[in-house]
Amino acid sequence: MKIDKKIAVFLYYHMLRIRMIEEKIAQLYAEQQMRCPVHLCIGQEAIAVGVCANLLKKDYLLSNHRSHGHYLAKGGNLKQMLAEIYGKSTGCSKGKGGSMHLVDLTVGILGTTPIVGGIIPVATGVAFGTQMKEKDNLTAVFFGDAATEEGVFFESLNFASLKKLPVLFICENNFFSVYSPLAVRQPKERDNLALVRSLGIKGSKGDGNNVFEVYALAKKAVADIRKGKGPYFLEFDTYRWREHCGPNFDNDLGYRTEEDFLKWKKKCPLDSLEDKLIKGNILSLSRIESFKRNIQAEINRAISFAKNSPYPETEEMLSDVYAK
């Protein structure tokens, strides 16, 4: 796949950044100061970065429980994200939301929520709202394979198709819903593309560990949506490396095999990209080192910001229940 060198480096940098941030969270989680569930996206970074590279700042993004990568790729504020996970008043949701409720209105991130499928109709509604207001913002919504089993998925797609809404549905298929594999949740014959097409929505499927492929498919989808052709559905296969919720590895549980895990680890979206870029003389090792130093410094600043931030005052517990 041909891709502009500058874009290739951009994609690499942001995938590396997400990877390093997530690894740092995994490491710091053991200190027991992040006292909330965290769902890490290590292994799945290419989808967030490849899709979001096609979005504009004014475009909207909504997502699910595994949203750190989406948030960062869309330009969400790292300091505020970490402070939120630490439950601090400087967090993006003032310590009321935690890892599963990220928001950054300055870059169009309207919220992330963990009720499976719950965000899909909301995102559809955002697109509906922009259409009614005759605005040209596109809305992107990320969700997992499990969310495509919920009724609201079908209801939302139906409406999006009916109204030709400017919404991009992105399904990250990592084959598991917690520990339940696809085989106990969906018939073998099921084909999401055929399904969405039968609703009048265009769709494509790609390798979620190949960021160029993600980028190219998203580019086409976004261009179509911007031309007013209505909603688009993208599905990418990928794999979550760590446990469903938390910082550890959980292959020992036996719900997936070590072989499968290793097979996917070999397909690491970041390593394979790095390989390509080095072989193509697009990136040098020293440049990569300087990226890493940069990112590490940024992470250190954000962590100390989060750790040194105050906890919210007790009265804050009762504020924000109703809008003024």
Ligand X SMILES: Cc1ncc(C[n+]2csc(CCOP(=O)(O)OP(=O)(O)O)c2C)c(N)n1
Per CB under 6 A, residues contacting ligand X are 65-66, 114-116, 143-147, 174, 176-178, 244
Q: Centre a 10 Å sphere on the Cβ of residue 215 and count the other Cβ atoms it contains.
A: 25
Task: Please report the DSSP string for 203-264 in residue order.
Answer: EEEEETT-HHHHHHHHHHHHHHHHTT---EEEEEE----S-SSSSS--GGGSSS-HHHHHHH
Nearer to other proteins, 112 or 130 (CB): 112
Nearest 10 degrees: Cα torsion 127, 130, 136, 140: -20
Binder to other proteins among 76, 87, 108, 203 (CB under 8 A)?
87
The residue whose Cβ lies closest to ligand X is: 144
Stretch that binds other proteins, among 80-88, 210-218, 223-231, 273-281 (CB under 8 A): 80-88
Name the strand (E) or helix (H) holding 298: helix 285-308
Stretch that binds other proteins, among 12-20, 82-90, 260-268, 274-282 (CB under 8 A): 82-90
Nearest approach, Cβ of residue 205 and other proteins (Å): 20
Closest CA to 69 of 96, 90, 41, 103: 41
The Cα 3–Cα 167 span in angstroms is: 25
Q: What share of the chain is helix, strand, coil (3-state, %, to 5)?
A: 50, 10, 40
Rounded to 5 degrees, φ, ψ at 215 are -60, -45
Separation in Å, CA 208 to CA 74, 102, 224, 240, 269: 17, 23, 20, 11, 8
**x-or-dash pattern for other proteins, window 146-175, by CB under 8 A?**
xx-xxxx-----------------------
Nearest approach, Cβ of residue 198 and other proteins (Å): 18
According to DSSP, residue 172 is labeled: E
Nearest approach, Cβ of residue 305 and ligand X (Å): 28
323 touching other proteins, by CB under 8 A: no
Q: Which does 66 bind (CB under 5 to 8 A by kind): other proteins, ligand X, none?
A: ligand X
Residue type, 42: I
The Cα 103–Cα 4 span in angstroms is: 31
191 touching other proteins, by CB under 8 A: no
The Cα 132–Cα 126 span in angstroms is: 10
Nearer to ligand X, 257 or 296 (CB): 257
37 touching other proteins, by CB under 8 A: yes
Q: Which does 88 bind (CB under 5 to 8 A by kind): other proteins, ligand X, none?
A: other proteins
178 touching other proteins, by CB under 8 A: yes
Nearer to ligand X, 86 or 176 (CB): 176
279 touching other proteins, by CB under 8 A: no
Q: Which does 253 bind (CB under 5 to 8 A by kind): other proteins, ligand X, none?
A: other proteins
> What residues numbered 94-113 form the site for other proteins, per CB under 8 A?
95-101, 113
Q: Which residues contact 262 (CB under 8 A, 6 or more apart)?
A: none
Binder to other proteins among 24, 163, 164, 185 (CB under 8 A)?
185
- Site for other proteins, rule CB under 8 A: 29, 32, 35-38, 86-88, 91, 93, 95-101, 113-118, 146-147, 149-152, 177-180, 184-186, 245-247, 253-255, 311-312, 314, 316-318, 321
